[in-house]
Structure 1
Amino acid sequence: MDFNYKTIVITGGAGFIGSNLAMYLQEHYPSARIIIFDKFRTGEKFESGNFTSLGHFKNLIGFKGEIITGDINFKEDLKKIAQIDFDILYHHAAISDTTVMDQKLVMQTNYQAFLDILEIVLQKNAKMVYASSAGTYGNTKAPNIVGVGENPENVYGFSKLMMDMSVRSLLKNNPELPIVGLRFFNVYGEREFYKGKTASMILQLGLQALKEKKVRLFEFGEQRRDFVYIKDVILANILAASAKKGGIYNVGSGIARSYNDIVAYLKEVLGDFDVEYIPNPYKFFQTHTQADITEFYQDLGYQPKFDLKTGILSYIAEIKEIAKGL
C-alpha cells in the first residue's frame, strides 16, 4: 500500500511501537500526513512505581509531522481526532503495564476508549489497525492460535480480548470492514527505553550485563516466550493497513525462545557475565508463548525477517548507548 498523500493518525504515537511506526512512515512515505495523538508523560505513577504514560518526547526527536496532546479517556480530546479527515488510524494508546490492578481504569482506557475511537473510524469509513496482545491467551497451551485458548489471567489481557470480541462481532455481519487487530507477543527494540521496568528483557538484561556484570532471571531461565523485533512489528502494521477485509492476527517471530537463550546471545556480543536465578514473585507469569503466524502469512504475506539472534545483534548498539548514559 502506498501511504503517500494519505492522512494517518497514530494514537500512542510517542510510545515504543507508535513512535517507530511514525518514523518509518515519515522515512518511506514523505508525502504522507502523519498525526500523532499522545497523552505524554507526566510525573504520575501507578502503585507499582511505573509511569502512567509511556509516551516520551525523546522518542519523537526528528519527527516532522503533527502532534496532538490528549487522553483517549476524555471525550473532549477525542473530538480532536473526530475533526480530522483521516484515511488510516493506528491505535496504540493503552495501559500496557500488566501489573496495574485497577480493573476499572484498565477497562476504561483499553476497552471503552477503544470503542469510542472505533465509532469515529466507522463514521469516517476509514481503516483501523489496533494493538491487541498475546495476553489474551494467558497460560494456555502454545503454540497460540487466534480463536483458540483465549483465557486471559489478568485484566490487561481481558481488556484486549474484549476489544477483539467487539471487532469479531462487527466483522460477523460485515467481514469487509477494514478493521485489523494485531496480537503483539514480546516486542523488543529501539525506542523502548522509556517503558522503564516494562521494557523487554532483552533491554533489561543487556543493561544489567553492561552495568553490573551480572543478570537476574527467574528460576531457572527456561521459560519460553516469542520475542519479536520491532522492525518486524512495524512490517506487520504496514501489511495490516493493506488488508481488504478485517481480521485478528498474531504478530510474533513464530518461534519460542528461553531467557537463557537471550543470555547466551548477549554473552556473544558483550562478553562473559554472571547469572543469578531468583524466585518468581508474580502469581501470574506466562511460561510459554509462541505465535502461530500461519494465517497472517496466508492472508497478508507476513514473514518476520529477524530471529532472536539477529534482532539482538541489530539492537545491541542502542543498548550500549543507553548504558553509557546511565
Structure 2
Amino acid sequence: MKDKKVVVTGGLGFIGSHITEGLIENNEVTIIDDMSAGKLDNIKHLETENIDFIKGDITELNLKSIFDDKDYIFHEAAMASVPKSVEDPVKCNRINITGTLKVLVAAKDTDVKKVVLASSSAVYGDSQNMPLKEDEPLKPMSPYAVTKATGELYCNTFTDLYGLQTAALRYFNVFGQRQDPNSQYAAAIPNFIDKILKGERPVIYSDGEQSRDFIYIKNVVDANIKVCESNKTGIFNIGHGKKTTINELVKVINEVMETEVEPVYEDPRTGDIKHSLADVSKAKSFGFEPEDKFKDELRETVRWFAGGVKAK
C-alpha cells in the first residue's frame, strides 16, 4: 500500500501500533486512541512526520470530519478484555458496538473505500468442530465475544445495504513485540516469557494438553493490508492453521531462551476452552500465507521482551 491516507483506531495498542508501523513508510496515518490501554511508547520508534495522533474516544469524536479525506480505516479500538467485559458489559457494549457503528456510519458518509474490523476467534466459543471455519455457528461466551460478533454483523449489513466495503478479521492467538504481559487479557506467550525472565515458573491451567493457534503479529499486519488492498469482503479467520499445545509452547520457549524452567500446573479456569484451530483457507483468497517460522518468531519476541537476551 502506497500514498494512501489511512486511519488506525486503537493505533497505540499492541496490534494497532504494528499496523501503523506497517503503513507509515509509504502512507499518511491518523491514529485515534483514548490511551485507556494504548501507549505512546508503542510508536516512539517510528518517524512521526507521517503520523497524526488524535487523542479521544471513538464514541465521542466527530469521526466524519476525521474520515473525510481518508482512503481506509483499520478499526482496532475496543475493550479487548474478556474479564473487563464480564465486569462491565454496558461499557463493553458502548465501546465495541456503538463505537464500531459510529466508525461504519462515518465511513459510509465519506469517501472511505474500505473498513477492516478487528474481530476475534472468541466468537466461536467452545465449539469443537476443528478446524474452525467462518460458517461455523457462533457461540459467544462473554459480552466481549458478543460485541465482536455484532460488529461483524454490522459490517456485513453496511456492505450489503450501503455498498461500503468491509472485512472482519477473526484474530486467533496473536503474539509478538509490545504485547503487555501484565494485562488482564495477557496471552500465554508474553506471560510465559515474562515469568521465565523473572526467574519464575509459568503457570499452566489444566494439564497443558489444551491447544491454541498462535499467529505472529507481522502476519496479522500482512493480513490487514492485503485484505484492504483486495476486493474481498466478509469474515476471515486469521490464524496460522496449526495447533500447538501449551506444553509444547513452554518447551519451545525454553529452547529459545536456553532455560529449563518447569511450569506449575493448576486447576482449569472456568470458561477456558480446550482447543482452538483456524481454517485459514478463505483468507488465502486475498494472499494470506503465514510462514511456518514459529521458533524464529518466538525468538524475535523473546529478544524484544528481554532487550537483547541471547536467544538460541
Asked if TM exceeds 0.5, the reply is yes
- Preserved CA contact (<8 Å) 1:183 1:250: yes
| Other structure's SS at 1:135 match | helix
Give 2:300's aligned amino acid.
Answer: S
Alpha-carbon separation, structure 2, partners of 1:236 and 1:275: 33
Which of 46, 53, 63 is the aligned partner of 1:78?
A: 63
Alpha-carbon separation, structure 1, partners of 2:69 and 2:160: 27
Task: Please name the residue that 2:229 is paired with.
Answer: 242
Deviation (angstroms), 1:137: 0.3
Please give the TM-score of this superposition, normalised by the length of structure 1: 0.87
Give 1:14's aligned amino acid.
Answer: L
Task: Please name the residue that 1:60 is paired with.
Answer: 43
Task: Please name the residue that 1:44 is paired with.
Answer: none
Deviations 1:68-111 (A, max 9, x none): 0001121x4535524x4101111000000011221111111101
Task: Please name the residue that 1:95 is paired with.
Answer: 79
Task: Please name the residue that 1:120 is paired with.
Answer: 106
1:315-326 pair list within 5 angstroms: 315-321=301-307
Alpha-carbon separation, structure 2, partners of 1:322 and 1:140: 40
Task: Please name the residue that 2:33 is paired with.
Answer: 38
Deviations 1:251-302 (A, max 9, x none): 000111111111010111221112110112x3211221111110110x2011
Please give the TM-score of this superposition, normalised by the length of structure 2: 0.91
Which of 276, 296, 319 is the aligned partner of 2:283?
A: 296
- Preserved CA contact (<8 Å) 1:249 1:296: yes
Alpha-carbon separation, structure 2, partners of 1:80 and 1:69: 15
Deviations 1:18-66 (A, max 9, x none): 1011112123x1xx111111001xxxxxxxxxxxx21111101033111
| Other structure's SS at 1:264 match | helix
Alpha-carbon separation, structure 1, partners of 2:7 and 2:292: 27
Task: Please name the residue that 2:21 is paired with.
Answer: 23
Alpha-carbon separation, structure 1, partners of 2:308 and 2:6: 30
Deviations 1:207-249 (A, max 9, x none): 1112124221002111111110001001101111112142110
Task: Please name the residue that 1:152 is paired with.
Answer: 140
Alpha-carbon separation, structure 2, partners of 1:320 and 1:197: 21
Alpha-carbon separation, structure 1, partners of 2:133 and 2:159: 18
- Preserved CA contact (<8 Å) 1:70 1:78: no
| Other structure's SS at 2:277 match | coil
Give 1:8's aligned amino acid.
Answer: V
Task: Please name the residue that 1:227 is paired with.
Answer: 214
Alpha-carbon separation, structure 2, partners of 1:194 and 1:77: 33
Task: Please name the residue that 1:45 is paired with.
Answer: none
Which of 150, 166, 182 is the aligned partner of 1:162?
A: 150
State the 4+ residue runs in structure 1 displaced beyond 6 angstroms: none
Percent identity of equivalent pairs:
29
**C-alpha spacing 1:195/1:134, structure 2 compared with 1 (3 Å):** farther
- Preserved CA contact (<8 Å) 2:181 2:187: no
Task: Please name the residue that 1:133 is paired with.
Answer: 120
Alpha-carbon separation, structure 1, partners of 2:228 and 2:251: 36
Cα RMSD, aligned residues only: 2.0
Deviations 1:293-318 (A, max 9, x none): 10110x20110014432321221211
Alpha-carbon separation, structure 2, partners of 1:195 and 1:111: 26
> Which blocks of at least 5 consecutive residues in structure 2 are unaligned?
none
Alpha-carbon separation, structure 1, partners of 2:20 and 2:95: 22
- Preserved CA contact (<8 Å) 2:175 2:217: yes
| Other structure's SS at 2:240 match | coil
- Preserved CA contact (<8 Å) 1:250 1:291: yes
Q: Does 1:7 align with 2:5?
A: yes
- Preserved CA contact (<8 Å) 1:71 1:77: no
Give 1:231's aligned amino acid.
Answer: K
Give 1:24's aligned amino acid.
Answer: G
